[in-house]
Amino acid sequence: MAKRNNLLIYILTIGVFGIINTEMGIIGILPTIADHFHVSVSKAGLLVSLFALGVAIAGPTMPLLFSGIDRKKVMLLVLGIFIIGNIVSIIASNFTTVLIARVVPAFFHPVYCSLAFTVAADSVSKAEAPKEVAKVLIGVSAGMVLGVPVASFIASTVSLKMAMAFFAVVNILVFIATLLFIPSIPVKERLSYGEQLSVLKKFIPWVSIVAVILLNSSIFGVYSYLAEYLKTVTNMSSNIISFMLVLYGGANMVGNVVAGKLLTNNAIKSVVAYPVVLGVVYIILFFFGQFNIPMAIITLIWGILGGIGANINQYWIMSSAPESPDFANGLFLTSANLGTTIGTAVGGLFISQLGTPYVVLVGLLSLILGLVFILIRNYMGSPIKQPSK
């Protein structure tokens, strides 16, 4: 039984990697795509921004629509749509076709990811659920960390089409593994759309959504400009910057494992402590970010906290509406994307007005506000029940 459950988690983790890889990996080949289809890099950037917009729009709605269908069938459907989109992108003769082939799967992105989190949590006891979800979230980190450099490397050494085929191959392998090794997963309790939407009538989910938007803003409002910070403030070379980005990504994956243990042992204390600890790291970054060795240490710790943050965000919204897990996970994906969008926009504003070093203030302000909403939820009452030891 344990081996079967481990196999399930591995497939879900690689499946999430394939979905995120399709979303983020394209960043590494945007200049090549622009040259290939004779469009500007900014226009090629629509492949990223419109995909993210599709995810944000579909987050609360699409998982809800598919919530009553056998989970294995839904996962196969989503993987099939991604595979078709990948193949169309490979053979497309114009940019518009590639854009459509990207945007359509984006609306199904939240369906697979929310199901992966739900299935992972349901595969074990409630007390152990955070650990299993954390393992699946490693796929998210890997998709963000590995997808960009791997796609870029394949495009530069082989061809653009082979780089885009990389996205398809991962999804095809997961489709086959899901078909062969994951059993049918019927929905045990089918909730009506009205019952699931009713969670939005409650105070706790809304406070949790705002907290997650702010927490994700605190992470990506600064991280989005890490390369720029390392270049202009720390004065690192391009090769060292690449290494630092990989260091952050690897630490991010470690953070997922650490988060699973923290949330299992004491969720409330971990969530409350998180913005305080990250805030201290940002303060140290502000004063010592211009020095190479301290910056490397800061990046390592920051990366671990970034991985922990992703888990905390998912847990915080999921625990606010445990009666509607698919819908809650969809809300998490939308909240996280909104936080990323807002944080990145405000971070860019701070850099343009105050200078690159002051982008750290975006993270600090978001953390302070995020902590306020976390404490408000705790004060008003939370549905979380700590697992008995």
- For residue 1, pLDDT beyond 80: no
pLDDT at residue 29 in the model = 85
Q: Please name the residues in contact with 241: beta carbons below 8 A apart, sequence gap of 6 or more.
A: 227, 230, 231
pLDDT at residue 2 in the model = 65
253 and 320 assigned to the same domain = yes
Rounded to an integer, the average pLDDT of 335-347 is: 86
169 and 58 assigned to the same domain = yes
pLDDT band at 190 (very low <50, low <70, confident <90, very high): low
Give the chain's domain count. 2
Name the average pLDDT for the chain: 88
188 CB burial (10 A radius; 0-12, 13-18, 19+): exposed
- For residue 81, pLDDT beyond 80: yes
The range of the structural domain enclosing residue 148 comes to 2-181
pLDDT at residue 384 in the model = 54
Alpha carbon separation from 87 to 79, 171, 177, 185 (Å, rounded): 12, 11, 19, 28
Residue 388 placed within a domain: no
| Domain endpoint, select from 155, 181, 207 | 181
96 and 35 assigned to the same domain = yes
165 and 20 assigned to the same domain = yes
pLDDT band at 143 (very low <50, low <70, confident <90, very high): confident
Residues of the chain with pLDDT > 70, as a percent, come to: 96
Residue 220 placed within a domain: yes
228 and 265 assigned to the same domain = yes
98 and 68 assigned to the same domain = yes
pLDDT, tens digit (0-9, with 9 covering 90-100), for 244-287: 888 888 898 899 889 988 998 889 999 999 999 999 999 999 99
Residues 106 and 103: their CA atoms lie apart, in Å, by 5
| Domain endpoint, select from 181, 213, 235 | 181
| Domain endpoint, select from 143, 158, 181 | 181
175 and 197 assigned to the same domain = no
DSSP 3-state of 27? helix
pLDDT band at 387 (very low <50, low <70, confident <90, very high): very low
The position carrying tokens 């090549």 is 32
146 and 197 assigned to the same domain = no
pLDDT, tens digit (0-9, with 9 covering 90-100), for 103-120: 999 999 999 998 998 899
15 and 66 assigned to the same domain = yes
pLDDT, tens digit (0-9, with 9 covering 90-100), for 201-241: 888 999 999 999 999 999 988 987 888 899 899 999 878 88
Alpha carbon separation from 361 to 31, 61, 74, 97, 375 (Å, rounded): 31, 34, 42, 41, 21
154 and 229 assigned to the same domain = no
213 and 362 assigned to the same domain = yes
Residues 230 and 241: their CA atoms lie apart, in Å, by 6
- CATH number of the domain at 314, please: 1.20.1250.20
- For residue 188, pLDDT beyond 50: yes
The position carrying tokens 């200078």 is 355
